[in-house]
């Protein structure tokens, strides 16, 4: 899952990014509303954390622009204010939830999980595809009563493939969602991690394999 964090407080942003990544989320950050709006409109994010009080384009303006453009990504608003009027305005503009600073990170993580569960596409903490099962909490891949631990990037690639329900994912999409827009990762980096995944699928005796479409991307399917 990929999260966009938009907040002008760099110290808070750096701390939250670290915590979210420790909980197996991929995170991009923006330190102002204009950059946050630009990134959010890419449509690659599963969740957005948006601060209200920012210089220039504030969070409510970003929220309104996103909802006016029919972007339905779940959005959690952050603010140092606690007035009920601010909460009402944010919710009326299309925010899904609201947290007042300071807050406990455990509560933030719980709210993210709860909001993702409400999405129609949410499939729970355990993802299944054909004969394989992926535990999103432990990063364990299982098949035929055998279990193997995945590295973080391996997990993120396989999670994307399993959630795509057999559709082809372009290499560009992996770069955007896992490494981020500013990453210098190249296509051969993805190929290396896919090679690791294939070996681990073989190690647990899975019939499911990662199939490649030359010059396009990857998908999951059964061995012929």
Angle in degrees, 0-180, between the axes of helices 59-68 and 84-92, rounded to the nearest 10 = 20
Residues 204 and 173 in one domain: yes
**What is the domain extent for residue 25?**
2-118
Q: Give how many domains the chain has, as a whole number.
A: 2
Check which CATH number belongs to the domain holding 157 and give it.
1.10.10.10
- Phi and psi dihedrals of 89, rounded to 5? -60, -45
The tens place of each residue's pLDDT in the chain, 224 residues long, gives: 899 999 999 999 999 999 999 998 989 999 999 999 999 998 889 999 999 989 899 999 999 999 999 898 999 999 876 667 777 888 889 999 989 888 899 999 999 988 887 765 545 678 899 999 999 888 999 998 999 999 989 999 999 999 888 899 998 888 888 887 666 667 788 899 999 999 999 999 999 999 998 878 999 999 87
Proportion of the chain in helix, strand, coil states, percent, rounded to 5? 40, 25, 35
- Boundary residue ending a domain (83, 118, 153): 118
pTM: 0.71
Q: What angle do CA 118, 94, 117 make, to 5 degrees?
A: 10
Instruction: Give the containing element (helix H, strand E) for 129.
Output: strand 126-129
């Amino acid at each position: 899952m990929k999260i966009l964090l938009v907040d002008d407080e760099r110290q808070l942003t750096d701390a939250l990014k670290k915590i979210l990544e420790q909980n197996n989320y991929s995170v991009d950050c923006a330190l102002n509303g204009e950059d946050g709006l630009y990134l959010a409109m890419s449509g690659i994010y599963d969740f957005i954390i948006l601060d209200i009080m920012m210089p220039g384009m504030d969070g409510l303006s970003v929220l309104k622009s996103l909802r006016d453009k029919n972007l339905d990504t779940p959005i959690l608003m952050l603010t140092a204010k606690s007035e009920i009027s601010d909460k009402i305005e944010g919710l009326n503009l299309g925010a899904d939830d609201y947290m007042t600073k300071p807050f406990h990170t455990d509560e933030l993580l719980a709210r993210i999980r709860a909001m993702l569960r409400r999405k129609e596409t949410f499939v729970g903490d355990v993802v299944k595809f054909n004969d394989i099962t992926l535990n999103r909490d432990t990063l364990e891949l299982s098949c035929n009563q055998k279990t193997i631990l995945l590295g973080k990037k391996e997990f993120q690639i396989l999670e994307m493939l399993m959630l795509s329900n057999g559709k082809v994912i372009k290499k560009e999409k992996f770069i955007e969602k896992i490494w981020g827009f500013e990453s210098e990762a190249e296509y051969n980096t993805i190929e290396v991690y896919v090679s690791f995944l294939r070996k681990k699928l073989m190690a647990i005796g899975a019939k499911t394999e990662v199939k490649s479409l030359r010059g396009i991307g990857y998908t999951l399917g059964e061995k012929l």
